[in-house]
């Protein structure tokens, strides 16, 4: 059995799976249930000046009959009294001393408010702080949340205030509602944050009710932009994570990965791209805390299969594999191959290639089953047929190099090598 215990900024947890700051970590009742279920840690839902929430709060995007491919919320930070939150945090820490307790914070925009809040939280025995510079709705209008994260200078200033008093590790959570997360990331690292976490939710409109014409979620006939999360945002989160993991300054601090993580596989992907641990929310909101079982077992089995003894053996392993386009090898060439024994004759590869790609699949009519085969000379190796094929490993991409030599675009141009003639 691999060792999946985690130490993030020195904060220990039995596994790298934390629950992100969100409704599931809003109060003692939920957090104790999460710990009982086996979660490694929680980031307590953001504390600050008490707010008032509205109804409804969530909406979702379904896809082809599958519910909650994407999820959206317009809930604000904790709407419970600060004193109750602090008391419950302390109780949770006492009851589960082996679990990580991080508290998310969003104080009013002045130095004193931050100082006071941090001192109160540290008295609970919590192990770390996460600064919410990401919430994209409600708090932004008050100059908080994403408004801070979108401006590197303001973010820097707030982190400096925090670091003046913080005695426990500080993680700064970044907003994805920017053209790049790197400037704010660099700015807060310079200001002294101990770690980074990303991404927070992405501003969105999930859909419109075609009968009432009111977008979701509907609050008495009106809606607002909400924060988008869930499986749909994972690819965006992975990209943003990579930019932080590759930047020479931001990569010097530990990164907690967030964004659509639903399974151990998702978690491994985040960790391969440099996340030291991961945070989960939407998947738990859809299925409950019980999903942790498979996350733990799946991670363990995968590590055993791959021969990884501890998390550090693979964290960041894929970061160097993401390069610049102009460094890609132009001589690398693959051609699709359809396994006729596995083919079920659905024609999806054919119509995708024929209508939208390179007309590289030959159709031989049959009744009722047509035969589809690849025209090797025409195939550009784009993967589209393989992606739409419903049968596992029916279409494989086979390597047929155009030349033995590695040659990239810069070199190609330098040598004046030919471009396509059709």
Partner 1 sequence: MAITNNRLTKEQYEQNFSDIRPPFENKTAAVVEANRCLFCYDAPCTKSCPTSINIPKFIKQISTDNVKGSAHTIFISNIMGAGCSKVCPVEKLCEGACVYNLLEEEPIQIARLQQYSTMKALQENWQLFERKPANGKKVAIVGAGPAGLSCAHVLAREGVEATIYEKEEKGGGLMTYGIAAYKVTPQFCEDEVNYITSIGGIEIKYNQELGKNLSLSDLQQNYDAIYLGIGVGVARQLDIPGEDLLGVVDAIKFIYELRDKGYSAIPIGDKVAVIGMGMTAIDAATQAKRLGAKEVTMIYRRTQEEMPCTEYELNIAKLDGCEIIWLAAPKEVKGVNGKVTQLVCHVMKLGEPDISGRRSPVDTGETITLDVDMVIKAAGQVPFEDLVKGSSLDNKNGKIVIDNNSATNIQGVFAGGDAVNGGKEVVDAVQAGKDGAAAILRYLKLF
In the complex, the residues that contact partner 1 under the rule CB under 8 A are 64-65, 344-348, 350-351, 363, 365, 367-370, 390-391
- Residue 263 phi/psi, 5-degree rounding, is -140, 170
Burial 367-391 (b: 16+ CB within 10 A, else e): eeeeebbbeeeebebbebbbeebee
Cβ proximity to partner 1, 265 vs 345, nearer residue = 345
- Of 351 and 375, the one with the shorter C-beta distance to partner 1 is 351
C-beta of 325: minimal distance to partner 1 in Å?
32
Nearer to partner 1, 152 or 231 (CB): 231
d(CA 307, CA 313): 9
Residue 359 beta carbon to partner 1: minimum distance, rounded to whole angstroms: 14
Give me 270's structure tokens. 């985040």
* Cβ neighbours, 10 Å, residue 185: 28
The dihedrals phi and psi of 36, each to the nearest 5 degrees, come to -60, -35
Strand bridging mode 66-73 / 226-229: antiparallel
Residue 409, token pair as written in the block: 């675009």
Closer Cβ to partner 1, 318 or 370, answer by number: 370
Residue 26 CB contacts under 8 Å (≥ 6 apart), including other chains? 45, 78, 80
End-to-end CA distance of the chain: 55
135 is catalytic: yes
Choose the catalytic residue: 135, 156, 353, 389: 135
41-48/100-106 β-pairing: parallel
DSSP string, 233-250: GHHHHHHHHHHHHHSTTG
Min. distance of Cβ 255 from partner 1 in angstroms? 37
Least distance (Å) from partner 1 to the CB of residue 370?
Answer: 6
Q: In what order do the strands lie in the sheet with 58-63?
A: 58-63, 66-73, 226-229, 202-204
The secondary element (H helix, E strand) that includes residue 6 is strand 6-8
If the CB atoms of residues 112 and 371 are measured against partner 1, the closer one turns out to be: 371
Least separation, in Å, of the C-beta of 147 and partner 1?
A: 39
Q: Which residues on neighbouring strands pair with residue 223, listed in sequence order? A: none
C-beta closer to partner 1: residue 93 or 348: 348
Reference 138, options 28, 71, 48; nearest CA is 48
Cα-trace Rg, the chain: 24
Phi, psi of 244 (to 5 degrees): -70, -40
Q: How far is the CB of 389 from partner 1 (least distance, A)?
A: 10
Closest CB to partner 1 among 44 and 350? 350
Tell me the closest approach of the beta carbon of residue 66 to partner 1, in angstroms. Answer: 8
Catalytic center residues: 135
């Amino acid at each position: 059995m691999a060792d999946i215990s985690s130490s993030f900024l020195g904060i220990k947890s039995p596994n790298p799976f934390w629950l992100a700051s969100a409704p599931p970590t809003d109060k003692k009742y939920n957090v104790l249930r999460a710990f009982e279920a086996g979660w490694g840690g929680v980031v307590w839902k953001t504390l600050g000046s008490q707010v008032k929430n509205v109804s409804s709060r969530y909406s979702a995007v379904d896809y082809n009959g599958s519910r909650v491919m994407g999820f959206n919320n317009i809930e604000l930070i904790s709407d419970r009294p600060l004193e109750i939150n602090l008391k419950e945090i302390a109780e949770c820490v006492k009851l589960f001393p082996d679990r990580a307790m991080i508290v998310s914070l969003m104080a009013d925009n002045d130095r004193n408010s931050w100082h006071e809040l941090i001192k109160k939280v540290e008295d609970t025995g919590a192990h770390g702080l996460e600064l919410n510079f990401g919430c994209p709705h409600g708090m932004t209008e008050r100059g908080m949340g994403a408004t801070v994260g979108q401006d590197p200078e303001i973010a820097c200033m707030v982190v400096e205030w925090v670091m003046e008093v913080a005695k426990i590790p500080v993680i700064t959570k970044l907003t994805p509602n920017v053209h790049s997360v790197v400037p704010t990331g660099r700015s807060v690292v310079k200001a002294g944050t101990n770690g980074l976490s990303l991404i927070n939710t992405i501003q969105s409109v999930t859909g419109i009710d075609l009968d009432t014409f009111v977008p979701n979620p509907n609050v008495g006939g009106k809606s607002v932009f909400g924060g988008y999360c869930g499986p749909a945002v994972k690819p965006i989160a992975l990209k943003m994570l990579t930019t932080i993991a590759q930047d020479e300054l931001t990569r010097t601090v530990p990164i907690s990965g967030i964004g659509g993580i639903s399974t151990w596989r998702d978690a491994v992907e985040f960790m391969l791209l440099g996340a030291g641990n991961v945070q989960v929310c939407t998947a738990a909101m859809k299925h409950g805390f019980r999903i942790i079982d498979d996350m733990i077992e799946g991670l363990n089995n995968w590590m055993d299969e791959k021969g990884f003894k501890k998390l550090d053996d693979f964290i960041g392993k894929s970061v160097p594999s993401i390069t610049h386009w102009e460094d890609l090898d132009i001589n690398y060439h693959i051609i699709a191959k359809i396994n006729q024994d596995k083919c079920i004759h659905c024609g999806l590869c054919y119509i995708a290639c024929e209508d939208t790609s390179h007309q590289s699949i030959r159709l031989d009519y049959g009744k009722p089953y047509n035969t589809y085969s690849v025209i090797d000379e025409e195939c550009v190796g784009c993967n589209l047929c393989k992606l739409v094929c419903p049968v596992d490993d029916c279409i494989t991409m086979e390597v047929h190099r155009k030349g033995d030599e590695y040659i990239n675009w810069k070199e190609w141009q330098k040598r004046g090598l030919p471009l396509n003639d059709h």
